[in-house]
A and B are shown apart, each in its own frame.
Chain A
Amino acid sequence: MKISFFIIQYYMQTIGILLARSTYYQTIGFDLYEGLRSGLNHLGKSDIRIISENIGFGADKQQCYRSAERLLLEENASVVIAYIGHRMAQLLRPLFLAANKMLIVLDAGANLPHEWPTCPNIFYHSLHNSLGASLAAKKAINDGYKSAGMVTGYYDGGYLHTYSIAKGFEENGGEIFFNHATGYKSEDFTIEPLKNHLEQFPDCALLSLFSGDFVQWYFEGIQKSFKEQNLPIYLPPFGFEEMMLADTEYPGDNIKGIAAWSKKIKSNENKIFIDAITSTGRTPNLFSLLSWESAEIAIKILDLIQEKNTTAQIASELHSFTFKSPRGKIYFDQKTNTSISPLYNAVLISNDEGKCEIKIESTANNVSEHFEKLINQDLNNSTSAWYNSYACI
């Protein structure tokens, strides 16, 4: 009996998932897991075994490596999905090359790699925070702002979306007049210096990079210190994370930017996703979305493995693979093995209780052209020291 159990387990297809944790997105691990599980169920693949491993904040090299190693070499996972950054993916690259297995990186897109990856064993499924940041900056220019200040925190400021938002503003004719990076503990978090900055440079747009609790703290600060001034604030996708916004006081009109996804996107795929996640008792968010979508990619890879394709052939097939997701059509950029998805022009509105909601205005134009530009831009020796999976501290 025991032997047959092990035989069945061995022949069952296995997907491994590396789960990160976060002190302010406390459900992130559950969201990632549930997104994948529900996504597989939706695709009629509930028989696939999911094995998870904890990787903490995604910053401990040994923990990440050993977790991935266990999934591949002990659990015989055919595909591994991981919410990690490019640097950690680079660390895992030789393991996946040596084991001849596929890694799907769930990427927040907050960092910019110095060398865009080309490894056939690794595909990046992205929320494109840096790309969104660049487009949000361009939006500020289109709205007539020629001067801006960049506002971020100690944590968010460590990712290269800072470079992307500043470059996006400057390349389109704007000038950054000040930067404000606040602390990452609640007692150190302050936006008071903005008063002085805005007195000196009154017509500045605020190009703002925050995630999780920091978005709440930022908007609270704006409401408290700049009440009814309707400061022009521009946000990238993680500034529009709806689960966090639902508990955030509405700080004022004139807040806009680029969203990766919203519950308000009207499509059959989005409705199915929202219903599926809600039925499990969870709130759909960017993390469950990302892993829900990764189920499609993982199934495609498993099918290609079963057809005895080599890794190079699998990579080549994925380059022409497209699917409809809750946020629209997704496909892979061939040069970087990175998924391209629609991005949305969004504004912040108030709900009946005075909390924040997103209003989707339209689909952003020319996303793939902007991505091409992003991958070709010189980082001018800007570097990030953060290994953490984004929003995981």
Chain B
Amino acid sequence: METQKKILVLCGGKFAFKALQLLAYEKFICAIGIGKGNYTTIDALERESEENNFGFKSFPDNKSISEMRNWIDTIQPDYIFCISFPFLLTESILSYGQNKFINFHPGPLPQYRGPMPIFEVLKNQENETAICAHFMNTKFDEGNIIFNDPITIETGDTYGKLSVKLSEHMAQVALNMANMLQFANNIPNEPQDETQSYYYEKPDLSDTYINWKRMTAEEIISLINACNPWNNGADATLLGEQIKIISAYLLNEPHENQPGTIVSFTHTLNIACEDNKQIAIEILKTDYGIITASQYMTLNPVMTGILN
């Protein structure tokens, strides 16, 4: 039996916890580094690292990355795994060893490069996403691909639900990768097909905003799910007010209204879409806070009058 490989994991917080647990259980972890992260997460990881005799270091900002190479040299890991680590690793860090750094990107590559692939696959109504294990270079998400491990997107998956599913799947994928490094003579890998590649920037208002005139009902539902919970819902204008729609479903009923206007109110707020379908809003965020459709109706008596 060959000596167990020592893996240093660089992570961004809670999303990597299950992978850390499994890798630690299988005795692969030698050290943990966290980028940004809140105090609770940092404290929890530091405590666990102390108890298990792992090296630990927090990298609160981009400037602190300059301390990483020395730290890695002290730890001397066989490989470095990155799971949602927020900072780009510099050439001086990567020169620790060729094909020693492996990133686990929570979206299929090369099609979904960028910081929030979970948002993008949901918004684009994909049926499947993937966790891509790839060697790292000095650019985000561009190194040679080892594998894309697929995972099905279920109808109704939100950003939150899919993140939890991916975090659980990440644990097994990271362990599989560790086992592969442990046993393989050769790690098959391929350069990314640049003709298939796309880099999505971090979404801004133009990406999370519902355009009632241009978007179909299904596109709107997908956007709402893609924004729940990280953006507190999809941004929209309703009755001239800026709101966020947190939860809604497709209502396959025709209407004769302008897109973006209220067709009816049952226990949901039913809005006309440009493809002659409606969406039924259940929960939304307004200046009053996060409220149900019924509460919204009570707060907008004028609108109730219109509907009556």
Chain A interface residues toward B at CB < 8 A = 61-62, 65-66, 69, 73, 90-91, 93-95, 97-99, 115, 118-120, 312
B110 to chain A, nearest CB (A): 15
Q: Which residue on A lies nearest to B189, using beta carbons?
A: A98
B188 x A115 contact (CB < 8 A)? no
How many Å from the CB of B111 to the closest CB on chain A? Answer: 13
Q: Which of A91, A118, A120 contacts B176 (CB 8 A)?
A: A91
In the bound assembly, the distance between CA atoms of A44 and B153 in angstroms comes to 41
**What are 19 A-B pairs with beta-carbon distances under 8 A?**
A61-B183, A62-B1, A66-B183, A69-B186, A73-B185, A90-B176, A91-B176, A91-B179, A91-B183, A94-B133, A94-B149, A94-B177, A94-B179, A98-B147, A98-B180, A118-B150, A118-B151, A119-B149, A312-B150
> CB-CB < 8 A to A120: which residues of B?
150
Q: Are B172 and A94 in contact (CB under 8 A)?
A: no
| B186–A62 CB distance below 8 A | no
Q: A61, A91, A98: which contacts B187 (Cβ < 8 A)?
A: A98
Question: In the assembled complex, which residues on chain A have CB atoms less than 8 Å from the CB atom of B173?
Answer: 94
B253 CB–A CB distance under 8 Å: no
B184 — which chain A residues lie within 8 A by C-beta? 65, 69, 95
- Cβ contact within 8 Å between A93 and B149: yes
B2 in contact with A119 (CB, 8 Å)? no
Contacts of B180 in A (CB 8 A): 65, 94-95, 98
Q: A62-B2, A95-B184 are in contact. List 15 more A-B contacts (CB 8 A).
A: A61-B183, A62-B182, A65-B179, A66-B185, A69-B183, A73-B186, A90-B172, A90-B176, A91-B183, A94-B179, A97-B147, A98-B187, A98-B189, A99-B188, A118-B151
- In chain B, positions 140-173 with a C-beta closer than 8 Å to chain A are 146-152, 172-173
The answer on a CB contact under 8 Å between A97 and B148 is yes
In the complex, how many angstroms separate the beta carbon of B128 from the nearest chain A beta carbon?
Answer: 8
Q: Which chain B residues border A94 with CB–CB below 8 Å?
A: 133, 146-147, 149, 173, 176-177, 179-180
Minimum distance in angstroms from A390 CB to a CB of chain B: 21
Q: Give the 4 A-B residue pairs with the shortest CB-CB distance, closest first.
A: A97-B147, A65-B183, A98-B188, A98-B147
Residues of A within 8 A of B151 (CB): 118
Chain A CB within 10 A, most for which of B2, B173, B180, B187: B180
Closest beta carbon of chain A to B147's beta carbon, Å? 4
User: What's the least CB distance linking B69 to chain A, in Å?
Assistant: 28
A61 and B179 contact, CB distance less than 8 A: yes
The residues of B with any CB-CB pair to A shorter than 8 Å are 1-2, 133, 146-152, 172-173, 176-177, 179-180, 182-189
Minimum distance in angstroms from A59 CB to a CB of chain B: 13
Whole-angstrom distance between the alpha carbons of A19 and B182 in the complex?
22
| Distance of A219 from chain B, by nearest CB (Å) | 39
Bound together, the chains give a CA A91 to CA B172 distance in angstroms of 10
Chain A residue nearest in CB terms to B177: A94
Nearest-Cβ distance from residue A52 to partner chain B, whole angstroms: 19
- Please indicate the chain A residues that have their CB under 8 angstroms from the CB of B185 in the complex: 66, 69, 73
**A69 CB, nearest partner CB in chain B, Å:** 6
Evaluate contact between A93 and B189: CB separation under 8 angstroms: no
A-chain residues with CB within 8 Å of residue B149 when the two chains form the complex: 93-94, 97, 119
Of A61, A65, A66, A73, which one neighbours B188 at CB under 8 angstroms? A73
A93 near B152 (CB under 8 angstroms)? no
Q: In the complex, A73→B186 CA distance in Å?
A: 9
A85 CB → nearest B CB, Å: 15
Partner of A118 from B152, B188, B189 at Cβ < 8 Å: B152
- Given A73-B188, A94-B177, A97-B148, decide whether A115 and B172 contact each other with a Cβ distance below 8 A: yes
Closest A residue to B185 using CB positions: A69
Tell me the complex Cα distance, A351–B150, Å: 52
With A and B bound together, what is the CA distance between A118 and B183 in angstroms? 23
Question: What residue of chain A has the Cβ atom nearest to residue B130's Cβ?
Answer: A97
CB distance from A120 to the nearest CB of B (A): 6
Within the complex, the shortest CB–CB distance from B240 to chain A, in Å, comes to 46
Q: Which residues of A contact B182 (CB under 8 A)?
A: 61-62
Q: Which of A61, A66, A98 contacts B146 (CB 8 A)?
A: A98
Expressed in whole angstroms, the minimum distance between the Cβ of B184 and any Cβ of chain A is 6
Shortest CB-to-CB span from B137 to chain A, Å, is 18
Q: In the complex the two chains form, what is the Cα distance from A282 to B150 in whole Å?
A: 41
In the complex, the chain B residue whose C-beta lies closest to that of A315 is B150
- The CA of A66 and the CA of B186, in the complex, are separated in Å by 10
A66–B2 alpha-carbon span in the complex (Å) = 13
